[in-house]
Amino acid sequence: MKRDIYKKLLAWKRNKNRKPLIIDGARQVGKTWIIKEFGTNEYKSMAYINCDKMTEMKNAFKDFNIERLIRIFSAISNVTIKPDETLIILDEVQEVPLALTALKYFYEDAPEYHIIVAGSLLGISLHGGSGFPVGKVHELKMYPMSFGEFIAAGGNEMLVSYITEHNWNDLNALSGTLEDLLRQYYYVGGMPEVVSEYISGQDFKNVRDIQNRILRDYERDFSKHLPSEILPKVIMVWNSIPAQLSKENKKFIYGALKKGSRAKDFEDAIQWLINAGLLYKIPRIKKVERPLKFYEDFSAFKLFISDLGLLGAMSDVTAREVFTGENYFSEYKGAFTEQYVAQEMIVRGLNPYYYSRERSTLEIDFVIQKESVYPIEVKAEENLRSKCLKTLYMENDLLKPVRFSMSGYREQDWMTNVPLYLAGEWIQSVK
């Protein structure tokens, strides 16, 4: 399956100022597969080492002599490592923290060696602080497959090509096909193993079984990596996400976890899940004006899970509801549709906020800052009323209001309506 990150890996290889590369991302988003695919296709040889399975790696970093380390890597992988010709891959590197420290010396003393490190829960190690080679590495974040990647994986690469040409009005003619694919994506999501299983057999039960197994793997990670004092809190936050998103107001409520609880009781648990790549945090802003960062409200935010399909599995939503439910996109107060839009923006490197006004019902689902500021309203059906967007625009006509809905593409005097199936590609394309 093609992944968009492959182009970034090529750019890294060709960069004259290339540094060792860290690929961070949640468990099972496809990190190992893509770096092996990249190594096979783009290098004469590949030295792959799983630091969790190779016990010799635990003692390899007695010092950071590069010649000695290269000999060890060659011996363990049974590959003769050559400068500029061999890709060195250290997987599950979080099991050997000193390997991260060693990247500094590869950059300073031996830049001719191409090295990539990756691992599950690597985000936790990266935020641990000790020995991290600040300024000596490149970093890439990897996510579950986007809707575009999902479409391409199903053999619809020509359709993806049409979408990336950005002839938005012409794509209205393909709305039936794209809406059907979007329903499939709502159920399957973007975890590569799940997508592969769905494409090969379209067996809904097998899809849900794999999603549930991934969720169990995450829960085992909680027990394995978390100290006892934080473990119950992480589990409570994680299990609360479907209910939090099913509310009309999707702001995260601490009191929904435990009566009387406050930020200080759960902020460490939330941050752990964010660092692990399992949750996305969308902060609130108090004012829709550049620069948005100036108006961030640290006390209010929304939390979304990393993958739409896993949210469906956590919520026990059936294939029948997704594929035959006439109003499925608007069910559960649009929770799945907002989740979809959030992850479509985040996988493209965008940093969305949301806006709400004190002592008012006015709320904007997402706000993105590029050269212009885009307040975004998400409609899970063809309802075209956008009172909140209109109010905001009347106060500041420099804004570029956008509505994502199930209606076709159209540009109005003050607002653009974009079909949900084009949401990620459209917001990435504008300036």
pLDDT value at residue 384: 64
pLDDT value at residue 42: 98
Contacts of residue 140, defined as CB under 8 A and 6 or more positions apart, other chains included, come to: 5, 8, 9, 12, 21, 22, 23, 24
What pLDDT tens digit does each residue of the chain (431 aa) get?
899 999 999 999 999 999 999 999 999 999 999 999 999 999 999 999 999 888 899 899 999 999 999 999 999 999 999 999 999 999 999 889 899 999 999 999 999 999 999 988 776 666 555 567 878 999 999 999 999 999 999 999 999 999 999 999 999 999 999 999 999 999 999 999 999 999 999 999 999 999 999 999 999 999 988 989 999 999 999 999 999 999 888 999 999 998 888 899 999 999 999 999 999 999 999 999 999 999 999 999 999 999 999 999 999 998 888 887 766 666 666 889 999 999 999 999 999 999 998 888 899 999 999 999 999 999 876 666 778 999 999 999 999 999 999 899 999 999 999 999 999 999 999 99
Annotate the chain with three-state secondary structure.
CCCCHHHHHHHHHHCCCCCCEEEEECCCCCHHHHHHHHHHHHCCEEEEEECCCCHHHHHCCCCCCHHHHHHHHHHHHCCCCCCCCEEEEEECHHHCHHHHHHHHHHHHHCCCCEEEEECCCHHHHHCCCCCCCCCCCEEEEECCCCHHHHHHHCCCHHHHHHHHCCCCHHHHHHHHHHHHHHHHHHHHCCCHHHHHHHHHHCCHHHHHHHHHHHHHHHHHHHHHHCCCCCHHHHHHHHHHHHHHHCCCCCCCCHHHCCCCCCHHHHHHHHHHHHHCCCEEEEEEECCCCCCHHHHEEEEEEEEEECCHHHHHHHHCCCHHHHHHCCCHHHHHHHHHHHHHHHHHHHCCCCCCEEEECCCCCCEEEEEEECCCEEEEEECCCCCCCCHHHHHHHHHCCCCCCEEEECCCCEECCCCEEEEHHHHHHHHHHCC
Q: What is the pTM of this model?
A: 0.93
Contacts of residue 289, defined as CB under 8 A and 6 or more positions apart, other chains included, come to: 295, 373, 396
pLDDT value at residue 71: 97
Q: Where are the domains of the chain?
A: 5-142, 147-429
Residue 244 has φ and ψ, to the nearest 5°, of: -65, -40
5-142: CATH number: 3.40.50.300
Q: Which residues sit opposite 368 in a β-bridge?
A: 374
pLDDT value at residue 252: 95
